[in-house]
Amino acid sequence: MHKLHTFHGGLKLVEHKAASTRNPPQQASLPKQLILPLKQHMGAHNQPLVKPGDRVLAGQLIGNNPHERSVALHASSSGTVSAIEKRPVPHPSGQSDFCIVIDVDGLDEFVEQDEVANNHSPEKLIEIVRQAGIAGLGGAVFPTADKINTAYQKGIHTLIINGVECEPYISCDDTLMRYHPDDIIRGVELFQQILNPELTLIAVEDNKPEACEAMAEALEQNKLQKTELVVIPTIYPSGGEKQLLQVLTGLEVPENEYLVDIGYLCQNVGTCAAIADAVDRQRPFISRMVTISGDNVTSPSNWQVRLGTPVEHLIEQSGGLIEKSDAKVIMGGPMMGFALSSGQVPVVKASNNFLVMRDQSIPHHPGAHDECVRCGQCAEVCPAKLLPQQLYWHSRAQAWEKTVDYKLFDCIECGCCSAVCPSNIPLVQYYRAAKSEIVAARKATAKSDRARARFEFRAHRLELKKQQDEERRRKKREALRNKQNADKGAEDPVKAALARVQAKKQAKEGQPKNTDNLTPAQQKQIAEARARRKQQRETGQ
Ligand code: SF4
Ligand code: SF4
């Protein structure tokens, strides 16, 4: 029996999962158009690899970004690319973004697959995950290949498989565990093949007895070594990586560190199934299990859906809206989800649930809240041990530095604080807005820093070139001068002057002296006269 621990705060929430798990999951039909956002993950935007008019096949790579951290994008059925343009995408801001739009031909033709090979090396398995375009299905949509690669490089001792689906209404992971446990266990086996952990813990909450049973059976049949199924109490948000680690081990991840830094890797059950699909069936990540739930949809249910399917198509498949004039669709759960701006918003890699509600039954309305009464309840329930009230004040005052001081980025946006706030303050919305502002400001600063660095480098390069040019010109001038001197036969002026004096002296010595033609008596007289003059000069007389 695995020893369990608790984490600070959290909530016991009323469940609404029974309606969508009443029946087995179904295969959703193909829509007329698939809308595939070029960015569905945490990381850089993909570049389109197709253009309007191109015919594409299911599983064909249609978007990628080989230079930065990103997740490959594949066509989720066959058809013709009709546009690459901005369309509404699932985002808290309700923004639009570039999407590849495919007019579906209904043939659902797949790209040809190579022979399936066994016994891949860890590096090859990571590459298969990368090429399959898998992003973490637990909600963060971090590129899975990058996450595994970091764990592979650093080495881990414990693999945690997250089957904890703690939001009310969401049941896609529960459904996956009930109906496809072998795929999940096969994915776990592949993770073990890559990372060779000493221990694997598969965590499932105790409110999912059917899933626990199915997983235990699959584990037994597949005989995975050093792997334990751990049933944990149902407390929201125990599905958060850091909270789950705390429940399973009692450990808290140090500030500014990740699980992998202390030897753990956490992966969602859906990600495991997607990896099994990629490795064993060579199927890129083009469909996923999605829950349609809420009080305004006729038949809450779970669907295996092709990515890019508009949410209104899925709602129609689920029997349609009960109250058409008063509908609100939220992607995710009531705690962490956000409202969608249009029924045309597509299913993306992160879409676990569409909560279809009557507008009046949604508890929090931005702008319509009372003032903070400083009751402190938000701090009591915060699983990240933050001070939500202070974060709220500073977010509201746009004092961004203060929000960072109060560890805004440790907030997992679980919504516990908003749920207990007696003033109905939509705290998480304030935090999300603050995070977006800070991230945008940091990006702008990084951009201007890069521009300044580029400018300074260019100025330095130009100055260096100027100096080199000047030196080159000086050497050229000197060489030219030397050449001209050599051409003229010119010599050193000092040497030349000395040579001239020498030549004059020699010429003078060669001339006959004035006294050579005189008689010896005359020469004697002259010599005596010279001696006298010399003596007079010397004596001064
Ligand atoms: S729960 Fe709401 S009212 Fe109470 S301290 Fe927190 S923000 Fe203020
Ligand atoms: S949303 Fe953030 S601040 Fe609020 S309880 Fe959750 S972690 Fe704490």
Average pLDDT, integer, range 443-457: 86
Average pLDDT, integer, range 39-45: 86
Average pLDDT, integer, range 368-387: 94
Rounded distance from Cα 297 to ligand 1 centre (Å): 33
Pocket residues for ligand 1 (CB within 6 Å)? 372-378, 388-389, 392, 420-423, 425
Tokens 């407390």, located at residue:
235
Q: Are 63 and 131 in contact (CB under 8 A)?
A: no
**pLDDT score recorded for residue 506:** 80
Q: pLDDT tens digits, residue range 390-403?
A: 999 999 999 999 99
Tokens 């809308």, located at residue:
35
Mutation pick for ligand 1 pocket among 392, 395, 396, 411 (CB with most ligand atoms within 8 Å): 392
Distance CA 365, CA 357 (A): 14
Please state the separation of Cα 354 from the chain's center in Å. Answer: 26
516 is written with which tokens? 């050579």
Distance CA 93, CA 90 (A): 9
**pLDDT score recorded for residue 367:** 59
Q: Are 354 and 327 in contact (CB under 8 A)?
A: no
Tokens 């066959």, located at residue:
78
Average pLDDT, integer, range 102-122: 88
Greater pLDDT, 325 or 79? 79
Secondary structure class of 293 (helix, strand, coil): strand
Distance CA 261, CA 115 (A): 37
pTM of the full structure: 0.82
- Cβ atoms within 10 Å of 438's Cβ, excluding its own: 17
Q: How confident is the model at residue 540 (pLDDT cuts 50, 70, 90)?
A: low
Q: How confident is the model at residue 489 (pLDDT cuts 50, 70, 90)?
A: low
Relative to the CA of 412, which ligand 2 atom is closest? 7
Q: Are 433 and 411 in contact (CB under 8 A)?
A: no
Ligand 1 atom 3: the closest Cα is on which residue? Answer: 372
Between strands 301-306 and 287-293, the pairing is antiparallel
Regarding the beta carbon of 412 and ligand 2, being less than 6 Å apart is answered: yes
Rounded distance from Cα 261 to ligand 2 centre (Å): 23
The closest ligand to the CA of 390 turns out to be 1
Please state the separation of Cα 519 from the chain's center in Å. Answer: 119
On the question of pLDDT at 101 being above 70, the answer is: yes
Q: How confident is the model at residue 116 (pLDDT cuts 50, 70, 90)?
A: low
On the question of pLDDT at 513 being above 60, the answer is: no
Ligand 1 atom 7: the closest Cα is on which residue? Answer: 389
**pLDDT score recorded for residue 278:** 95
- DSSP tally for the chain: helices H, then strands E: 16, 17
On the question of pLDDT at 244 being above 80, the answer is: yes
Between strands 287-293 and 338-339, the pairing is unpaired
Q: Which range has the worst mean pLDDT, 99-108, 194-203, 488-497?
A: 488-497
Average pLDDT, integer, range 472-481: 92
Regarding the beta carbon of 411 and ligand 2, being less than 6 Å apart is answered: yes
Regarding the beta carbon of 138 and ligand 2, being less than 6 Å apart is answered: no
Dihedral of CA atoms 358, 363, 368, 371 in degrees, nearest 10, equals 180
**pLDDT score recorded for residue 426:** 92
Relative to the CA of 375, which ligand 1 atom is closest? 4
